[in-house]
Structure 1
Amino acid sequence: MSSSHGSVAIDTDTHSHSFRIAQLSDPHLTSLEGAGWRPLFNKRMLGYLSWRRHRRFVHSPGVLADVVTDIQARGFDHITVTGDLTHVGLPAECRAAAAWLRSLGKADEVTVIPGNHDRYVRADWSETVGCWSEYLAGDDSRIASEPMFPSLRVRDSVAIIGLDSAVPSAPLFATGRIGEEQRQRIAVLLDQARQRGLFRLVLIHHSPLPRGHRWRKRLTDAAALLRVLQRQGAELVVHGHGHKRRIDVVSTSQGDMVVVAAPSASLVGLGRGGYNGYRISRTGSGWRVEVSEYAHRAGKVVAQECREFELSRP
Structure 2
Amino acid sequence: MKILHISDLHFPKKLPLFSLRGKAIVGYLSYRLRRKSKHPLVLVSAMIEAISKLEYDALIISGDLTNVSHPGEFQNAKEILRPLLTDKTFLIPGNHDRYQKRAIGPNPLFEKTFSEWMGDSLDPKLYIRSKKIGGKLFLGWDSNYAIPRITANGYVAPEVIEKTMHLVQEPYVLVCHHPLWNPKTEIESKAHQMTNRTEVVDKLKVCPPELYLHGHTHTNWVKLPGPSASFPIVNSASSTRLSDRNHECGFHLIEMEKSISYRRFIYSEDKFIETNPIFYEESEGVI
Q: What TM-score do you get using the length of structure 2 for normalisation? A: 0.86
SS of 1:28's partner is coil
The separation in 2 between residues aligned to 1:84 and 1:263, in whole angstroms, is 9
1:264 aligns with 2:253: no
Match of 1:206 among 178, 184, 187: 178
TM-score (norm 1): 0.79
Q: Which moved more, 1:148-157 or 1:71-80?
A: 148-157
Structure-2 separation of matches of 1:168 and 1:23: 25
- For 1:35, the equivalent position in structure 2 comes to 16
Deviation for aligned residue 1:113: 0.4
Instruction: Report the equivalent of 2:72.
Output: 92
Q: Structure 1: any 5+ residue segments left out of the alignment?
A: 1-18, 309-314
Aligned pair in 2 of structure 1 residues 34, 216: CA closer, same or farther (>3 Å)? closer
Q: Which amino acid aligns with 2:45?
A: A
Q: For residue 277 of structure 1, what is the aligned residue in structure 2?
A: 253
- Equivalent residue number for residue 184 of structure 1: 162
Deviation at 1:307, TM superposition (A): 8.0
- The one-letter code matched in structure 2 to 1:203 is V
**CA deviation profile, 1:75-133 (whole Å, cap 9, x unmatched):** 21110111000000011111222223322221x21101000000002125436112111
1:126-137 correspondence to structure 2 within 5 Å: 126=107, 128-130=109-111, 131-137=113-119
Output the aligned Cα RMSD.
2.6
Distance in 2, matches of 1:105 and 1:92, equals 18
- Contact 2:3/2:253 (8 A) holds in 1: yes
**How many residues end up aligned between the 2 structures?**
272
Write out per-residue CA displacement over residues 120-177 of structure 1, whole angstroms, 9 at most, x where no aligned residue: 0212543611211111132x779xxx89521111223421111111211342211111
The Cα of 1:208 is off from its aligned counterpart by 2.0
2:265 is aligned, of 294, 297, 309, to: 294
Cα 1:201–1:48 change in 2 (3 A) is: same
Is the aligned partner of 1:22 residue 2:4? yes
User: Which amino acid counterpart does residue 276 of structure 1 have in structure 2?
Assistant: H
Name the one with the larger strand percent.
Answer: 1
Residue correspondence of structure 1 range 59-78 to structure 2 within 5 A: 59-78=39-58
**Percent pairwise identity:** 22
- Per the TM alignment, residue 269 of structure 1 is displaced from its structure 2 partner at its CA by 3.6
Runs of 4+ more than 6 Å apart: none
